Structure 1
Amino acid sequence: AQGKLLARRGAIVDLQRNLLEAIQGVRVDAKTTMTDFMANDTVRTEVQGLIKGIEISDASWDGEIYTVTGRVKLEKVRTAVLPGLPKVPGQKPVPPTPPAGKISASGMLIDATHLPLIPAMIFRVVDENGKEVYGIDFADAERFLASGLCDYHTNLTFAKGAPRIASSPIVAKAVRTIAPQNVDIVISNADAAKVRGSSYDFRIPCRVTVVKR
């Protein structure tokens, strides 16, 4: 029993170390990773607290090796980075979702499957003139923390049916990514005009899905 207990403890320490490495590699925005953000004492303390309080979802013991699986919710990681963000999203009144068929656009799906896009917690979508169409400034803080600026998918067909963007999203083919980081996305001026002209501002509740390679 003592050996099993020690093995479990060792497995959890390994899991926490692996998780810390994974979190440090997360790209926050075009310029920074979580490693950079963790130079901020508040952020570092928050992340360390997350890792200590890891939720163990599965555990097994074969008599020799103890294996554990755990997870940390991205919502908690987003909350941890908030003190280090140069811009913090504000509280915005979230518009009620109009009934299907009464809406010009229920969300936005960006197809970037042909581009070397790097997923990030915070990114910008701009038009061909460089004017911002979507990003953290447009989002409600609560929605951003709960579900992020977007969902990333790798399957276009699956993404089109995602509940997040509902039944009638604007489908925008990305024109390019902004080098060298390839985090921020350029869409056409025509698609940008559709977003800005939508009667329902789906940007506030972050109803955006991005499909990558």
Structure 2
Amino acid sequence: MPAGMPLGQAKLMARRAAIVDAQRNLVETIKGTAVDAETSMENYIIKSDLVKTKVSGMVTGARVTSEEITSDGTYHVVMVVPMYGIGSVADAAVTAMVGTNSTPTPFPAPSAAYTPAAAQTTTTTTTTTTTTTAPAQTVSTTPATAISAAAPSAVAAINGGYTGLIIDARGNKMIRAFGPNIFDTNGRTIYSVHNVSEDYAIKYGIVSYAEGSDAWQKAESGQLSRVGSHPLIIKMAAPKARCVFNCDVIITPADADRILAENQKTHFLDNCAVTFEI
């Protein structure tokens, strides 16, 4: 608080200075958020007057959640802006990526070479052989070829019914972004902000993120509402090459076809039921 003036006036001046400082810090934080693999909010603020106006209005309307005068006479305020929803950071970011009143691009179809039967054969977990000797019968069970613990059951592969998609991107130094993409190794776009409702992307984001062992376990066991009780789990092949931020993922063409084929049954991609494990 400034010295040499009445206490009430000094408090008001210190509070105002703290709010202005907090607003500046918010702008710097927003500018640092990743929009997609190539750009941050700073790029769009510079390029787009619409985005700049939205961010300025958002920061001006930031909400004070707490304030206090500390023991050394410093005025301290905490201010927040929403990450998602109308008038949020996501509102500015998604608008920058897709424009306004955009129509979602349809998801691609699985490649002509894809056969669901091929996916079904990979779900066998055990083989049983029977050897007969006199007078008794011995049954021995031998484990089949090792597969990922996240692989779905044979029944699920045949009948479909997946409620969402989990991309296992652990160990790749991924960061959170408003517009992450899923590509296959052939460069085909499987999932992006352009495939979903603009309103939904602004309100909820096109993916959720699970970070840490507890969050991974909850996601895979169906305890996260985003991907539902029976998610399809796919291992990422690599992060997208030649990008500023590691937020996009690359999967194999076979996994991409499987995702697209399963989406045709339950439309989980249409509902943004996607989680990235990071």
TM-score normalised by L of structure 1: 0.86
SS in 1 for 2:199: helix
User: Which residue identity lines up with residue 228 of structure 2 in the other structure?
Assistant: A
Could you tell me whether the CA contact under 8 Å between 2:93 and 2:178 is conserved in 1? no
Counterpart Cα distance in 2 of 1:159 and 1:67: 38
- Tell me how far 1:84 sits from its aligned partner: 2.9
Query: 1:95-120 deviations in whole A, cap 9, x for unaligned?
Result: xxxxxx99621111111112132322
- Tell me how far 1:43 sits from its aligned partner: 0.9
Q: Does 2:135 correspond to 1:71?
A: no
Could you tell me whether the CA contact under 8 Å between 1:91 and 1:142 is conserved in 2? no
Counterpart Cα distance in 2 of 1:132 and 1:17: 37
Partner of 1:191: 255
Partner of 2:63: 55
Deviates more, 1:75-84 or 1:50-59: 75-84
Counterpart Cα distance in 1 of 2:168 and 2:28: 30
Matches within 5 A, 1:1-213: 1-39=8-46, 40-62=48-70, 64-75=73-84, 76-85=88-97, 89-90=102-103, 104-155=161-212, 156-160=216-220, 161-181=223-243, 182-198=246-262, 199-212=265-278
CA 1:86–1:138 in 2, change beyond 3 Å: closer, same or farther?
Answer: closer
Could you tell me whether the CA contact under 8 Å between 1:109 and 1:210 is conserved in 2? yes
User: Which residue identity lines up with residue 219 of structure 2 in the other structure?
Assistant: A
- Tell me how far 1:85 sits from its aligned partner: 2.3
- Tell me how far 1:35 sits from its aligned partner: 0.9
Return 5+ residue gaps in structure 2 as ranges: 1-7, 106-155
- Tell me how far 1:82 sits from its aligned partner: 4.2
Could you tell me whether the CA contact under 8 Å between 1:174 and 1:187 is conserved in 2? yes
Deviates more, 1:56-65 or 1:134-143: 56-65
- Percent identity, aligned pairs only, is 30
Partner of 1:98: none
- Tell me how far 1:58 sits from its aligned partner: 1.8
Count of aligned pairs: 204
Query: 1:147-174 deviations in whole A, cap 9, x for unaligned?
Result: 1111122122243332111111111111
Structure number with the bigger relative contact order (C-alpha 8 A, sep ≥ 6) is 1
Deviates more, 1:203-212 or 1:151-160: 151-160
Could you tell me whether the CA contact under 8 Å between 1:170 and 1:194 is conserved in 2? no
- Tell me how far 1:91 sits from its aligned partner: 6.1
- Tell me how far 1:183 sits from its aligned partner: 2.5
TM-score normalised by L of structure 2: 0.67
